[in-house]
Amino acid sequence: MSIQRPKGTQDLLPGVIEKWQDLEQHIRTICREYGYEEIRTPIFEATELFQRGVGETTDIVNKEMYTFLDKGDRSVTLRPEGTASVCRAYVENKLYGGQLPVKLFYMGPMFRYERPQAGRFRQFHQFGVEVLGADKPIVDAEVITLVWDLYTRLGLKGLEVHVNSVGCPTCRAVHRTKLQEFLAPRREQLCKDCQDRFERNPMRILDCKNPTCQEITQGAPTTLDTLCPDCSEHFQELKELLTAAGVSFKVDPRLVRGLDYYRKTAFEVLVENIGAQSAICGGGRYDGLVEQVGGPQTPGIGFAMGMERVLAALQVSNPLNNLTKKEFVRFVALGEEAQKKCFTFVSQLRRKGIPASIDLLGRSLKAQLKTADKAQARYAAIIGEDEMNRQVVILRDLTLGEQTELPFAEAEEELIQKYREEQ
């Protein structure tokens, strides 16, 4: 019996991996331009970090974590998201003692035990940024502009940024009371989840996808109706800054993030996806999270995006986007002596950074040429017995179907020249 990969995981094979590398490259480039530095934290952490940092009432912590005891009887968890780890690292390494704000990005696998379905994986990949130690609306605007610019560069179509303010504990307490008053008469009709939320976290009811809940919450007071002067000013300034940066956005008062430590700005980026719109990035401000994991009071804001979802959206926006790298030159040899000569050429070219390849299976001349074609090599460089005697290489242009002869002494320089011209 052969062993199969675990459910909800994937092998990223050549042919697909190039698209990942291209996305990663775009991410690294834009982060460098915006002045965000990479952080890599462990893939597993003490379970308590996520219980405190993600929230014990969330589905992630309640149902979806890969938690186990290690051989030392410590409870550890494969990270289900990145923010809690970044905040932990910020505190543990005392990054707050250096230059502020700290602007970080991360990229890597996350783990959630979800029911596998199309586009959802138990091991998935996220890119995210976190800015710690700055509370001004210009930080929120910078973070949103970064993801907007990234998606625009990638060529995603139908982009829309949705923003909201969920307020602070002061104004949220007012909202909570007003919302409960509004919903109380129809409380029994809410879905089961929302009945739970009614006492614990009524704001989340605004975000419920259940049609009955959506109908009941029509006209319900939103957090925007109850913002305190400080939160209101922050939101106003954010909108002005986004306009100044040329980011088109929509205010969406139903966009909420439910945890206690979320503050003020919440946002999502939506993309047109086969007729419907779907969110491919979510983020917001979390002014209390660093304290939650044992650090000093620190404002923070960030976002995370699922890389699988972005790649799927790109597939829809740019179906012809073929990034597979083609071979430049494949050496084709007939006979042992010719093979050695070819291997010398290949080795020298590779040392100079020119992609070159050679048959590794001892195939016939005809089969080697066929392989060069299949690999869509730009050139085939052929050396047989006759060429060995005359000390020349036949250089065949596989695109144009033309060929020339080059003396051994000139072949390397000529290929380097041709490669440079095509870059």
Name the residues that contact Zn ion, by CB under 5 A. Answer: 167-168, 170-171, 191, 194, 208, 210, 213, 228, 231
Closer to Zn ion by CB, 47 or 210: give it: 210
Distance of CA 109 to the CA centre of its chain: 10
Closer to Zn ion by CB, 183 or 242: give it: 183
Q: Which two tokens stand for residue 350?
A: 């590779």
Distance of closest approach, residue 222 Cβ to Zn ion, in angstroms: 14
Return d(Cα 142, Cα 232) in angstroms, integer: 19
Distance of closest approach, residue 264 Cβ to Zn ion, in angstroms: 7
Distance of closest approach, residue 239 Cβ to Zn ion, in angstroms: 16
Closer to Zn ion by CB, 9 or 210: give it: 210
Task: Specify the DSSP class assigned to residue 190.
Answer: S
Return d(Cα 163, Cα 115) in angstroms, integer: 29
Closer to Zn ion by CB, 170 or 399: give it: 170
Return d(Cα 340, Cα 209) in angstroms, integer: 67
**Over 161-199, what HEC string results?**
EEEEECCCHHHHHHHHHHHHHHHHHHHHHCCHHHHHHHH
Q: Which two tokens stand for residue 193?
A: 């989840």
Distance of closest approach, residue 208 Cβ to Zn ion, in angstroms: 3
Helix (H, G, I), strand (E, B) or coil at 291: helix
Distance of closest approach, residue 242 Cβ to Zn ion, in angstroms: 20
The angle, 0 to 180 degrees and rounded to 10, between the axes of the packed helices 137-154 and 229-244 is 30
Tell me the HSE value of 139 on the side-chain side, using a 13 A CA sphere. 28
User: Exposed, middle or buried by CB within 10 Å (0-12, 13-18, 19+), for 307?
Assistant: buried
Q: Is the Cα torsion angle 172, 286, 60, 293 positive or negative in sign? A: negative
Alpha carbon distance, N-terminus to C-terminus of the chain: 47
Closer to Zn ion by CB, 91 or 190: give it: 190
Closer to Zn ion by CB, 190 or 281: give it: 190
Distance of closest approach, residue 181 Cβ to Zn ion, in angstroms: 18
Distance of closest approach, residue 219 Cβ to Zn ion, in angstroms: 16
Q: Could you give phi then psi for residue 249, rounded to 5 degrees?
A: -140, 165
Return d(Cα 183, Cα 19) in angstroms, integer: 47
Distance of closest approach, residue 211 Cβ to Zn ion, in angstroms: 9
Closer to Zn ion by CB, 58 or 145: give it: 58
Closer to Zn ion by CB, 174 or 358: give it: 174
Q: Which two tokens stand for residue 248?
A: 């088109």
